[in-house]
Amino acid sequence: MKPIDLRSDTVTQPTAAMRAAMAAAPLGDDVFGDDPSINALQEKVAGLLGFKAALFVPTGTQGNLCAILAHCQRGDEYIVGQMQHCYRWEGGGAAVFGSVQPQPLDHQPDGSLALADIEAAIKPDDPHFARTRLLALENTLGGKVLPLAYLEQATALARSRGLATHLDGARLFNAAVAQAAAKDARPAAGPPQGGTAPSGGSDPHAVGERGGAYLEAWRIARHFDSVSVCFSKGLGAPVGSALCGSKELIARARRIRKMAGGGMRQSGMLAAAAHHALDHQVERLAQDHALAGRLADALQGITGLQVEAPQTNILFVDLVGPARERSAALLEHLARNGVLATGLYRLRFVTHLDVDARGVDRAAAVIRSFFGA
Ligand SMILES: *Cc1c(COP(=O)(O)O)cnc(C)c1O
């Protein structure tokens, strides 16, 4: 039987409709700027998120690298969370390639960085210190949605101290879909608060007419000077991310992408997959969230497991007490029974396009059987 792969939402296969969109994409040479599918995608994502420009990059890692190096010079530093991808999971790229020093901070239980910690980490203008130049946040972080009010406060603080702001929004649309669902659940929510809808994009109706999740994505993104999004996670494209920002920032990012070897040629095929994902696979993320919740529910009450209620598509389950000693045996049991997950004492299960309720139920049954539950 095909394994139930809950290691990551990156494992998905492109759907038949996505493959058809890729095959039909008009192509050009994007290094010359004339791949129509790339240009259409960049305009689309910039417009959706309320930015003037966007840049397609092969990976989220390269998108973050381009962002940090476009915001910072050698000898600058960026404030970042210990668990954020652009600090912990990118091989130290900003330091290695850009001589930009990270200033990591511990996270609060909700995933945020305490405002007081951010404030305290901003260095005075003194030759002893690196120049604090950028605040980088991530949403969702480990599947947690950072509250909108927090994003507003943290970015306002950064701005007031002359820092630029970057959001690693690899799973921005998961955050947006969860935020939209929370709003729908509140009966008297009223009209959206805050600024006006974006007008910069090629499709002025993109946000208003297409419902809650797109609007919420824009409401998150508008607090930042730059935002990166991944198409190859829950959105189900095979490859690619986009970095959004001002025209000037994206021009600098384009030079860095070239230096990093990310200037691609007939990459419109990849852009077409991303475009298809943006059109057809955003609202669908709600199903992934429901499935993560379903798995969490099925694992409640097993002695030795501590289940953290998932906010989006990532479920963490801690082994506690004597069960910790059985961790290796549990992973072996899972693998033997066709359930793939990551972690050791803290297991991570990620739901996505290529798992359904039956798969989740089977995974739950395999886990329960290990504990005799
Ligand atoms: C996956 C991910 C990235 C980028 O990953 P790539 O594998 O380089 O595409 C960046 N940030 C976050 C938060 C991620 O989850």
Residue that is last in its domain, among 280, 297, 330: 280
Q: What is the pLDDT of residues 46-66, one digit of tens each?
A: 999 999 999 999 999 999 999
Give the integer Cα–Cα distance in Å for 99 and 97: 6
Return the residue matching tokens 């690693």: 168
Best probe residue, ligand 1, of 57, 83, 89, 145 (max atoms within 8 Å of C-beta): 89
Rounded to an integer, the average pLDDT of 229-244 is 98
Provide the pLDDT for residue 210.
58
Same domain, 71 and 88: yes
Q: What is the pLDDT of residues 325-341, one digit of tens each?
A: 999 999 999 999 999 99
Alpha-carbon distance values, 162 to 133, 225, 255 (Å): 7, 12, 24
Domain that holds residue 335: 284-370
Residue that is last in its domain, among 251, 280, 309: 280
Same domain, 307 and 272: no
Q: Which atom of ligand 1 is nearest to the CA of 59?
A: 9
- DSSP three-state, residue 185: helix
Give the integer Cα–Cα distance in Å for 57 and 45: 13
Q: Is residue 51 part of a domain?
A: yes
CA dihedral 195, 201, 203, 207 (to 10 degrees): -30
- In percent, how much of the chain has pLDDT > 70? 93
Q: Is residue 10 part of a domain?
A: no
Give the integer Cα–Cα distance in Å for 57 and 36: 16
Give the integer Cα–Cα distance in Å for 61 and 142: 16
Predicted confidence band of residue 185 (pLDDT cuts 50, 70, 90): confident
59 lines ligand 1 (CB under 6 A): yes
Provide the pLDDT for residue 1.
80
Alpha carbon 37 to chain centroid distance?
23
How far apart are the CA of 112 and the centre of ligand 1, in A? Answer: 18
Q: Which atom of ligand 1 is nearest to the CA of 62?
A: 8
Same domain, 157 and 226: yes
Question: How many domains, the chain?
Answer: 2
- DSSP three-state, residue 190: coil
Rounded to an integer, the average pLDDT of 187-200 is 48
Provide the pLDDT for residue 373.
81
Same domain, 289 and 263: no
Provide the pLDDT for residue 186.
73
Provide the pLDDT for residue 256.
98
230 lines ligand 1 (CB under 6 A): yes
Alpha-carbon distance values, 342 to 60, 318, 345 (Å): 20, 12, 10
Rounded to an integer, the average pLDDT of 255-261 is 98
Same domain, 148 and 117: yes
170 lines ligand 1 (CB under 6 A): yes
Same domain, 107 and 241: yes
Predicted confidence band of residue 44 (pLDDT cuts 50, 70, 90): very high
Rounded to an integer, the average pLDDT of 147-164 is 98
Residue 368 pLDDT > 70: yes
242 lines ligand 1 (CB under 6 A): no
Q: pTM for this structure?
A: 0.94
